[in-house]
Structures are given as structure tokens and as C-alpha cells.
Structure 1
Amino acid sequence: MTPQPLTGAQQCAVLMLLLDEGVAALLLRGLAADEVRDVGDAMLSVAEIEPAAIDGVLDIFAARHAEVAALGRDGAQLRTLMHQAFGEPRAGALLGRLPPPVTPVPFATLAWIDPATIAALIEAEHPQVGAVLLAHLPADTGAAVLAALPPELQPGLLVRLSRLGPVSAATLAGLEADLEQALLVHRAARASTARGGTAAAALLMGGVADPARLIEAVRGVDDGLADAIAEQLFVFADLIRIDARGLQAVVREVDTERLVVALKGADAPLRAHILAAMSSRAAAQVEDALMGLGPQKRDDVTAAQAGIAGIVRSLAERGELMLPGSGAGYV
């Protein structure tokens, strides 16, 4: 059976696999983002290949690169890499067929950035800069970037893009340097807003079927951290989701003074929900105390609410209360 001819990506993959890893990595930097992805996939399909096929790939490389400019400044980088990769005789033969280098493609970095990030960069720049950037994007990427921009910015950018004339190489170089700096700032800002901490862990755990199991697993690693996450799993505002019977169990464990201070910072629906679970006499006493209570420090209110939330968690751990969304436990 005649073997199937190798695709362009497979031929490139063969060359990369023949090279030293460091040399191959440097050459890959000269490829576009989609080309790198294609070559990476092709490497898996050419892991085992006949020696004759390898020779054929090298011959094709020499023939086709007679029409392609050398990579790197003045071709020096490519020539050095070729000598390192193939040795003096073969490298000299291959390089002898290469024409002079061409000017690098402006804004090549944009090929590695998702449209949403490019849109964010353009939104922060002057519209004329945005038009220049759009002009150097592939049509499909440019369309995606335009769609990701706020609607009120789109017409102005299209007008400027339509009227855009030739831009000098010096101006493009300056804009490209500014873009690189803006991209660094954008990535740093995104990293600094990454959500973490015990609150984030509790938020994720709140959506699992058995958070208690995870808490105990964390406790095996760090007891204090497990307690901190547990404190975030149920907060005072979650009392709105506990039924009347459950609230009665909670109120029995809470002294009136703490409850009054906690309710001082509760919204009207939560306050009504808790009072409705109490006897009419106890609810009236709490309401009277609330009316006579003066302004409270926010920290005192927060502490009182956190204390009640802790009592709720203790009741749940003892199986005396079913937390909202829990499939186990009872009152």
C-alpha cells in the first residue's frame, strides 16, 4: 500500500522533531499561533516515520524555501540555527537557496491573544490606535474583536478604519511597543483580580452535594483552614432559607441580646422571617428591644450575626438542624 503523502504541518513536524529542542523552540516562535497548533497536533502523527520519508521532507524543505525569506534579523538567527541543527554541509546547501529577509509582520503578538483581550486593549486606547490595530488583524479575528467592543465604539472605529491610510514603519514600531506594555499591564490586572481565599473556597463548596466531607478532608491538612472555610459556608443571611422549625431550634440557642443586635443589621424580609418563627410574646419582646436599641457599630452587628451563624453550623454538625440545600440532617 502506497503511504499517504505528508501534509504541510506533518512535514514541519518532522523537521522540528529532527532538531535540538532548543533550536526547535526558537523556530516555533517564528510561526503564527494557528501554525503552532497545527504543527503540535502533527507531531503526534509522525512520531514513527520511515527514513526515506525524512529525506523527502528535507528535500522539500530545500526546494520550497527558495521562495521564502529568511527568518530573524538579516537572516542571522536562522543561519545560526540551521548550522546547529543540520551541520555545516547540509545547512550550507539549504541556506544557499534562501533569498534575502523581509520585514517582520507588524503586531504579530496579536495572533496569540484572544479577541476579548484585544478588545479590552483597544477600548483603552485612542480610537485611531484601535483602527490601526484592527487593520492588522485577520478578517475573522477583527470581526470577533469588533463584536466584543461596546456598541457605541464600533461605528467610530469603522469610520476611522475606512479612512485609514498608510502608516509609517516608525509609527507602527512605536504602537507595537506601546501594545506590548499595555498587554503586560492588562495581564497583571487580570492576575491581581483573581478570586481566592476561604470565601472563594466556600462559594465553590456550597454547590457540592456533601460539603461536610470536603471540610473534613481539608481538616486533615489544616484544621484552622477548615474552620475558616466552614465559617463562610453558612452566613447569617442564609437564615432566610431555613424553615420555621429550624429557626426555632436556632433561637433557643441564642440569647436575646445577641439576636437583637444581629437583627439590627438584617433586612426587613429576614427580620420578619425570624420573628415569624418565634412565639408572639418572644417576637414582641425582640421588636420592643429593637425599637429601643440605638445605633450599633457595624463590627458589633457583624460579630453578632457571625456568632449566630456559628450556632447554626454547630446544630447542623450535631444533626439537629438541616442546612439549606443539604440532603442529610434533621430537626
Structure 2
Amino acid sequence: MESSKASEVFALLSPDLREEVLERLGTIESTSLDLVSKIVRNLSRHFDVKGRPAFHTSGGVRAVADLLNQLDKETSKNLLARLEERNATLSAAIRKKLFSFEDLNRLQPADLQRVLREVDSANLAVSMKSASETLRDKIYASISKRAAESLKDELQMLGPVRLKDVETAQETIIQVVRRLEE
């Protein structure tokens, strides 16, 4: 199941069940296709499921990290903290796979330039509203002087932006990083 769809289903679960699902999902590496087919058949009775889903592997640390990255920051942070109480090793492995907007600082200049070429400038401006000065400087250094000036102007003209909009813009950029990573 796509991480975006999984996050929608995940949001419907009770908080206690979320913790257990995260832990179980994080500790399984693959699932038999027969079992997956049975689950899909049962879910299709309750949800509009079109086509045959492509399940090759499911679960594991990467799947949990992808799911947490789809959730809002506060929910993700709380779930990870509670998971750490239950399974510190799993929690540490998941944290290593999580990627935040500020982690763009860790990218090599060439990689950051590749990411920025894929991102809409308006989206980039919104995403930078809560960025650290260090990250802003790195982004400005990764684009042409003219583009940097244009981006600075756009940032100033934006005015106040809702945190939810900033996080959505940042998540879009994180998705670009993940896509390019593959």
C-alpha cells in the first residue's frame, strides 16, 4: 500500500493500536503474497480498491519511516517517542531513515541542486518560511544569483504563512528527495 494511503488508514486507528501497528510493521520484512491477497480481498469489501495492488515486500523500517513522514510532525514525533519506550532498537533504526526538511543541509551541493531543479519556486519559497538561516544560505548558494534574488523577493512578499502550508510545501520537497534517491 502506498505510504500516503497507508497514512489515511493509519489515522483511523486508535492511538494504542497505532503504536502496536508501527512496531509490528517495523519488525516484519516481507509478507506472503497469499496473506496479502486475503487482506486486500477483505479490505476491498469496505473500501473502493481498484486494480491489483503491487505488493513485493511490506513492512520493515523503511515502510514505517515512510508512513511517519506522511503524518503530521506532532503525531509522528509522539508515535516515535512512544515506540522508543517499547522498542528502542527499532525506534533508532526508524529515526535513521526519517528525513526532515532541515536534512537538506546534509546533502552534497550537486544533490541539492538536482532537488531544487525539480521544485517549483513558489513551493520552495513557502517551504523556506521556517527554514534555518544555514539552510536558506545553502539553498541560495545552490542556485544562480538571479534565482536567489528572485527567491528572496518571493519570500519577502509572501508575508505570514500558515504552519500547515509550510509543512505541506516541505513535505513536497522531501518527496522529491525520496524519488531522486530511488
Using the size of structure 2 for normalisation, the TM-score is 0.52
Matched, 1:228 2:67: yes
Deviations 1:289-324 (A, max 9, x none): 01111100000001110110111011001xxxxxxx
From 135, 148, 153, give the equivalent of 1:283: 148
**Whole-Å Cα distance in 2 between the matches of residues 313 and 241 of structure 1?**
14
RMSD: 3.5
Q: Which has the larger radius of gyration?
A: 1
> How many residue pairs were aligned?
112
Shift of 1:221: 3.3
The match for 1:258 is 123
Stretches of structure 2 lacking an aligned partner (at least 5 in a row): 1-18, 32-55, 71-96
From 104, 110, 114, give the equivalent of 1:239: 104
Using the size of structure 1 for normalisation, the TM-score is 0.30
8 A Cα contact 1:258 1:304, kept in partner:
yes
From 137, 158, 161, give the equivalent of 1:293: 158
Matched, 1:307 2:146: no
8 A Cα contact 1:235 1:309, kept in partner:
yes
Structure 2 counterpart SS, 1:234: coil
Higher relative contact order (CA 8 A, sep 6+): 2
**Whole-Å Cα distance in 1 between the matches of residues 20 and 140 of structure 2?**
34
Stretches of structure 1 lacking an aligned partner (at least 5 in a row): 1-195, 206-213, 318-331
Shift of 1:222: 4.8
**Whole-Å Cα distance in 2 between the matches of residues 313 and 229 of structure 1?**
14
Identity of aligned pairs, percent?
A: 39
Change (3 A) 1:222 1:285: same
Change (3 A) 1:260 1:227: same
8 A Cα contact 1:239 1:270, kept in partner:
yes
